[in-house]
Each structure stands twice: as structure tokens, then as C-alpha cells.
Structure 1
């Protein structure tokens, strides 16, 4: 008989708090200062039992995202890594060693989601996990984890996923099951029509009608040509 493995706890790292999220298990502990200092001070010990499995999610306000469109001619892992680093430096002005980049695996040549996070925070999480004997089941940006959770419920022709939480809006768009663009910004940055402005700017040269805007959090106001579909009040319910 196969051994049963419980679903790992999800630990959400925010700018000023840590929270265990999912179902009825929401618990939150605030902290002062930087998130990496909170892990160094063992703040997560109050939320995650020693020896347990834990998936760590970094709130979108703490990370930077890009959809990587791979150019032809790249050879090997080192050239791909150099190209990704160049794109993050060009778009977000973030560089190693202060930032660490994580790229979601994709089939060769297809666009990939990439996330850059502060290296000091990732190192602090790893050190806490070793010290507390926590088995890390994954570490990613919150939007990436939300999409992976929603993926069985979305159509992959032309659509977008919007995640609104804790004063921030992140939208990722795909076309023919391939990532096209991703934007993340504070609420209010785009005015009353922030969703429409973001979708229009992300759509670029894609033609045709709008698609389905899948929503986690409050129902978003879908612009003309788009249809909003509510996935849930929260990505982790």
C-alpha cells in the first residue's frame, strides 16, 4: 500500500506578516522590519510545526515577474540563464547577487514564467527550514502558485488570471496555452479602469476578441470583449 503524504502547509510571506493559508487554517503573525529578519528570528515557528512539509509563497509585492520569450539561437543552460538575467536587469533593474531568479519549467522554446526574489529572503527561508527541520515542498511567487492551483479549471485558448489581494493586482495572460504577458502593480496605480488598461497593454499585437478573465479575490471589472469568471474569494480557500 502506498504511503499517505499529507498536503504541505502553505506559508505566505508578506511584507509585514507571515500566514498559514488554506481552508479553515488561516493564521497570521505580524512582524517588524524585513521578512528575512523574521525568518532569522524564527517567527514562522509559531505557524509551522517542526518536521512538517511546507510550501512557501512569496507575496507578489515582494517579487518581480516576467514572461520570458526565448530568442532563437540560445545554446545550453548558461546562455538561457544569462538571457533571463539580462531581461530582469533591463525591465526591473534587479541583478544578482541581490536577487535570485526562478524560472518555471516549460517545453523547449515555449515562453516561461520567471520570478525574481530577494536573495537574502530565500537564504533566510532555507536556513530556517534547516534549523527547524522543515521539508520545503516548493518556493514560488504567490501568483505562480495561484495559477498552478487554478490550471485544471481554466480554458487555455485565450484568457487571463487576475489575483487581487492585500492591496495589489497581478494579471497574467495566455494565448493558445502559451504565456503572453504578466503585470503586477499596486491597487489604484491604473485608476478606475486599471484592469482594462492592464489587459489592453498586455494584449499588444494579439488580434481577435477578448477572452475569459479568471478571478481570485474580488470579482474584477472585465472590460468590453472580456468575460469575468470567479474562481474563488481567495486562491487558498
Structure 2
């Protein structure tokens, strides 16, 4: 049995350990991942405007968690409001909140991006639900490119995911698990976008990272599908 999914990591120690394991250097200009995310927000806002032009509807984002939130074109707002009635709100802006506190699951009709990276790593269940929602995404095994992410709604959602992968390496990983009781079980991981995506989007994303660091990320992307872990049988 094969299974593909997105794994979201929010533990800072694990993220640092992953960077060491991947031999990923710091940014040459000492920019942090949060700095890179701030630099990427104008591009992500342009993505939002493009989606709106395609029929998506902007709704009020969750304070402290979402930078923006959009309703899929086929969803009536009245349906969304009806689904939300009677639900309890969690104060996810509370600094004491952590990934162990499971927030209310967002409706599958809403796509959003985090306010900042802290909102990503401290709300792991929320983003795990979003990036594994087959309303929006479908990870598959591609014959040429290995594990890739596809979208059932709009390819720009995949672009957003891959950009987040680059900004905070190790936080969002595409995983394929193969379970065979007669042999063994394996896990193949892709923590970076496919090389073809990197090359296709170079003109758009390299200004965010700088040419030097973009080259480093491209090299890691080239090796991204070769990671193999053995699972417990």
C-alpha cells in the first residue's frame, strides 16, 4: 500500500536538526526565515489578487494566524456561515498556544497563508489539515520528478506551498510511504520543490532569496527526492 501526504514540522529543535542533516548553510546576508517570509509577502499578496480575479472571494482572516484567507469560487458565503454556527473559537493568538493544542479544523473551502512563520509552526494541526486537504492538494509520484504536489483547484496553490518550503526548509515535506508486509516499509521524502519548478520560477523567486542562496536551494532541490528512511514494520 502506498500513501502520499504532507508532513508539517513545528518543533524548532527538529527544524535545526534537519538543517544540520541537510548541510543547509545560513543565508549569506544573515537573513532569517522570517526575513525571507516578509520579503515574500508582496508576491503572496499578488497571488491573492490573481486568485480573486479568478473568482475566489476574500474573507476575514483569523487574527494572528492568517495573513489572508480566500473562499473557493464555488462556495456560497451563506453555506460557510451555516457551517460555522455553534463552533467554539480558540484564542490562537495567545502566546501560550502551541502545536499540541489542536485548533478548530478549518473548512475545506478556505485557503489561507500564515500571518508569519510563528503562526505556521505553532499551529501545526491547522496547516496539516489544510495542506492535506484533497479539496486543494494531491501529492503524487511523478515518473520523472519523484514526489510532487498537484492541485485540484488552481496550480497557484502549489506555487504557494513550494515557496513556503523554500522559506522554512524542513517545515513542509512531501512524503511517500510504501508498506508491504512481505518485504519492508519505506518512506521517501521531498523537503524541497522539484528542480523543474525551481528553474521555471527562477525570475520570480530568486529576488526573494538572492542569487547566491537561490543557487544553494536549487542544488538541494536537485537532490530533494533521494532521501530515504526506513519505517518500523
- TM-score, normalised by the number of residues in structure 2: 0.29
- TM-score, normalised by the number of residues in structure 1: 0.29
Going by fraction, where is strand more abundant, 1 or 2?
Answer: 1
RCO higher in 1 or 2 (8 Å CA, sep ≥ 6)?
2
Going by fraction, where is helix more abundant, 1 or 2?
Answer: 2
